[in-house]
Amino acid sequence: MSSEAKFKLLKGRSKKGNLNALHQLGDLASSNPSFYLEALPIYMQHLPLKTPGTSYLKQGPTESHLLAIAALSGIGKGALQLAERTSPSPKMQPFLRQYWPRMWLWISHFTDAYLQTSSAHADDEEPLEGDISRTTARLLAALTRPPLGILDQIFETSGVVKCVVDLWVRAARIDIFDFELVTYYQLTFNALQASRCRPPSEMQPILEDAFDRIDCGFSWVVTQGLITCARGRKVEYEKIASVLGYLETFAMFSPKFRLVFMYQRSIHWVTAIFRKLVSRSPARMTYEDEDRIIRLGSQSLRHLNEMIFSCGHYIVVDLLRNRFLLSLLQAVPYLFVNVPESLEDSEVEEFHKPYFELMENLGAYGNYLSVQKILYQSMEKIENEGSDECFLEDASFLIRSLWNNLKRTAAERHALRRARKEWLRSEQESSTAVQGAYMPVFVAEDARNITGGTTVTNVEKSLKSEMPRASLLWIGCMTVTWNSLPA
């Protein structure tokens, strides 16, 4: 039977309410733009303008509900696959705009009827609830993605953003390693963030409000996922991608969760995952492994940059204490040398940006004394071990220059820090010598403390009792000099 004849047969059965035929129609229509256009009115036939009440919930879903879920699934699957594989027909978008209010009517109905009524902390779900969650995620990802995207119309619909966030959180509580589901929601959030239908000043507060409504306890679900990935024996790329997707998105849109993740030491587990990715043996890697490592490594670095931007040099100190500088060096062959040929130059450039930004942050925050010392020690240890020559052997001139500049900057700041300490020590010794020349012996001994410093109040008190008032002018000058010296 030809595909046209099969499609015609499935159309007739789907109109009569045959659930299996409707599912098969969705599979067939997702491979052909003309089939998809003909199937849209049939899908909408099973999405009437009025939804039933909720009295049926105790008896289970009705056949009309199962048909409605299948119709929404067919719309989302077809739009997503046609956008990826072929050039969609320009007639599709007007139809999707026309039918979107009815789609949202049924999405919100299913969400309220099946998903919101169950516990937000449920660790299991019924098959029907899983179908609703996956169907909604796929449909929203398809309708917010160009060229078929109707993002402006979706964003203007009240409650859409909150619904997406709630469903995504619910999915994570059930299984945070569901890579397919996480990918759908990630596509939706990326589209919302990059949308120009509203100015960023209006878009960002809406997204932040939706994420800030989530209970802080959800952060432990994400942190536990990070720990599982970091401590596992194998490098499971899909699990890592799922957890990093949640971590990056929540840290990006919610200042509250950024702070919570910092207190839960999420960066410790992110650095452990990054180290795990770049510590694999190149001889055992495939092209697929190289592609995933450059993507996940870049995603990890983006999150670390976001945390540095929010929390400052405290994050830099924590990274350096965990020998993250060596991990950045180990990542050079994976991110810059063994780059998969399948990636476009624009993609590679985007993946490299977080690396350059993080190196820039290390140099910028090197002005802090707490960073200077540990940065120099890390560089010195890497140089003594010969790790820099090993991992930079095949690197480009740009990468070598980047590391040489950071090494030189760390050495210069360390030298300045030592020179400053020597100057302070010499100044303190000279001031102590002047002090001892003018005061009685018993006063000088009384003014010493166990750390070698000088107790200025004791000196003034002793001298005031020994000298006339008219000769106290120089004492005040010495006091100002002592107090003005840096600690």
Q: In the prediction, which pLDDT does 46 show? A: 92
Q: In the prediction, which pLDDT does 164 show? A: 86
Reported as a pLDDT band with limits 50, 70 and 90, residue 9 is very high
Q: In the prediction, which pLDDT does 463 show? A: 37
- The CATH number assigned to the domain with range 1-53+60-192 reads 1.25.10
Reported as a pLDDT band with limits 50, 70 and 90, residue 484 is very low
pLDDT higher for 486 or 162? 162
Contacts of 86 (CB under 8 A, 6+ apart): 33
- Nearest CA to 371 out of 342, 414, 339 is that of 414
Q: In the prediction, which pLDDT does 387 show? A: 82
On whether the CB atoms of residues 47 and 74 are closer than 8 A, the answer is no
Q: In the prediction, which pLDDT does 285 show? A: 77
pLDDT, tens digit, for every residue of 57-116? 555 667 888 899 999 999 999 888 887 776 667 788 888 999 999 999 999 888 887 766
Q: In the prediction, which pLDDT does 435 show? A: 54
Residue 90, token pair as written in the block:
């320009």
In the predicted model, is pLDDT for residue 343 greater than 80? yes
**pTM, 2 dp:** 0.77
Reported as a pLDDT band with limits 50, 70 and 90, residue 33 is confident
The fraction of the chain above a pLDDT of 90, given in percent, is 28
Q: In the prediction, which pLDDT does 293 show? A: 92
Q: In the prediction, which pLDDT does 229 show? A: 95
Q: In the prediction, which pLDDT does 205 show? A: 84
Q: In the prediction, which pLDDT does 55 show? A: 52
pLDDT, tens digit, for every residue of 399-450? 999 998 988 888 888 888 888 788 888 877 777 665 554 444 433 333 333 3
Reported as a pLDDT band with limits 50, 70 and 90, residue 273 is very high
Q: What's the whole-number average pLDDT of the chain?
A: 80
- Burial grade of 398 (CB within 10 A; 0-12, 13-18, 19 or more): exposed
Q: In the prediction, which pLDDT does 276 show? A: 93
Q: How far are the Cα atoms of 331, 433, 468 from residue 461, in angstroms, in the given order?
A: 62, 19, 13
Range 132-137 average pLDDT: 89
Reported as a pLDDT band with limits 50, 70 and 90, residue 220 is very high
- Domain boundaries along the sequence of the chain: 1-53+60-192
Q: In the prediction, which pLDDT does 468 show? A: 40
Q: In the prediction, which pLDDT does 139 show? A: 92
In the predicted model, is pLDDT for residue 477 greater than 50? no
pLDDT higher for 416 or 148? 416
The fraction of the chain above a pLDDT of 70, given in percent, is 82
In the predicted model, is pLDDT for residue 190 greater than 50? yes
Nearest 5°: phi and psi at 197? Answer: -70, -20
Q: In the prediction, which pLDDT does 486 show? A: 39
Q: In the prediction, which pLDDT does 92 show? A: 85
In the predicted model, is pLDDT for residue 302 greater than 90? yes
pLDDT, tens digit, for every residue of 440-465? 443 333 333 333 444 444 444 443 44
CB-facing half-sphere around the CA of 80: CA atoms within 13 A: 20
On whether the CB atoms of residues 236 and 229 are closer than 8 A, the answer is yes
In the predicted model, is pLDDT for residue 201 greater than 80? no
CA distance 71 to 466: 99
Highest-pLDDT range among 85-89, 263-267, 457-461, 473-477 = 263-267
